[in-house]
């Protein structure tokens, strides 16, 4: 299917979805970040669960960050019909069926947490984090590959970041209709300051509705991590999916050691606060070699 035809099909599906919105599910949980932390891999694993239905058209709907002006019927129109969920539930002997989506920018947009808390009361949030230095390096490679980053040198892109992001978070918070390309795509260093965003999410929905996974643990031992996610979501354990890595982007060259140390030093106080918040040392601080690198 070519891109033009795909756009037409998606537009038609969204129009039908909006018209049938009252008969559709809303998600009971979201994967809301972090970017370049394995969200696609977890999304595809959870989408294989028999009692889980994903959004119809896209992995990420991006409603609570960049699409909020489109309204609740537009959002609901992305999800399966209730009659579909009822049919699946009957096939599973009455097991409740849940819907979900994965939009990693939800973790970072300054208005997303309050929006999703207001519109999806009771929603549960799953967040993945990884070594923030590796995450930043991966993020830059990803944006270059997508054509969203003209500066191919990571060091120079980091140097540009303060000017690119200056005032953008404040502007987004003040104007519900505002959009910032730089805030969404060029926040390489800022995105790894995880505790800032986790505190905002937990303040909005409650700490008990937030489940944090270290990507290093997920890729090293996916089964126990997956089981813990199912328990958090009140989903039955019905066997394991196929666990795969998705969207991996190996770098041709290792990061400059001086820059690596600079970034590690930058993240140290944020990781200290994250350790206190989690009640444990994150995996990347325990001296284990990451099970995956992108």
Q: For residue range 250-279, list pLDDT tens digits in order.
A: 666 789 999 999 999 999 999 999 999 999
**What residues have CB less than 8 Å from 233, skipping those under 6 apart?**
28, 29, 98, 124, 126
Are 173 and 110 contacting, i.e. CB atoms less than 8 angstroms apart? yes
Residues facing 129 on adjacent strands: 214
Dihedral of the alpha carbons of 125, 131, 132, 133, in degrees to the nearest 10:
-160
H/E run at residue 263: helix 257-278
What is the reported pLDDT for 294?
Answer: 36
Domain layout of the chain by residue ranges:
21-244+253-285
Q: Give residue 253's pLDDT.
A: 77
User: Measured between alpha carbons, how far is 136 from 127 in angstroms, rounded to an integer?
Assistant: 17
Q: With beta carbons less than 8 A apart as the criterion, state whether 126 and 213 touch.
A: yes
Q: 197 and 33 in contact (C-beta within 8 Å)?
A: yes
Give residues with Cβ within 8 angstroms of 271, minimum separation 6: 132, 282, 285
pLDDT at 116: 97
Nearest of 178, 182, 179 to residue 191 by alpha carbon: 182
Domain over 21-244+253-285 is classified CATH 3.40.50.300: yes
Do the beta carbons of residue 132 and residue 197 sit within 8 Å?
A: no
Quote the pLDDT of residue 293: 38
Residue 63 is encoded by which pair of tokens?
């409603």
Residues of the chain with pLDDT under 50: 2-12, 289-294
């Amino acid at each position: 299917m070519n891109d033009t035809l795909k756009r037409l099909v998606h537009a038609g599906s969204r129009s039908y979805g909006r018209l049938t919105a009252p008969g559709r599910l809303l998600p009971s949980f979201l994967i809301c970040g972090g970017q370049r932390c394995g969200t696609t891999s977890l999304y595809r694993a959870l989408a294989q669960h028999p009692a889980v239905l994903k959004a119809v058209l896209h992995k990420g709907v991006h409603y609570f960050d960049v699409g909020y002006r489109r309204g609740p019927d537009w959002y609901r129109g992305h999800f399966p019909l209730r009659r579909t969920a009822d049919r699946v539930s009957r096939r599973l002997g009455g097991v409740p069926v849940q819907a979900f989506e994965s939009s990693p920018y939800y973790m970072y947009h300054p208005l997303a947490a309050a929006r999703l808390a207001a519109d999806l009361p009771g929603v549960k949030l799953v967040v993945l984090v990884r070594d923030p230095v590796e995450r930043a390096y991966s993020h830059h490679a990803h944006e270059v590959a997508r054509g969203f980053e003209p500066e191919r040198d990571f060091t120079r892109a980091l140097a540009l970041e303060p000017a690119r992001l200056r005032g953008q978070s404040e502007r987004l918070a003040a104007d519900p209709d505002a959009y910032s390309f730089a805030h969404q795509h060029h926040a390489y260093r800022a995105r790894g300051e995880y505790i800032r965003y986790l505190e905002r999410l937990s303040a909005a929905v409650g700490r008990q509705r937030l489940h944090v996974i270290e990507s290093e643990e997920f890729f090293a031992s996916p089964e126990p991590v997956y089981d813990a996610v199912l328990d958090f979501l009140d989903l039955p354990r019905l066997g394991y999916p196929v666990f795969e890595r998705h969207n991996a982007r190996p770098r041709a060259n290792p990061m400059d050691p001086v820059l690596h140390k600079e970034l590690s030093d930058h993240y140290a106080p944020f990781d200290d606060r994250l350790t206190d918040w989690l009640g444990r040392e994150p995996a990347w601080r325990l001296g284990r070699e990451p099970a995956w690198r992108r």
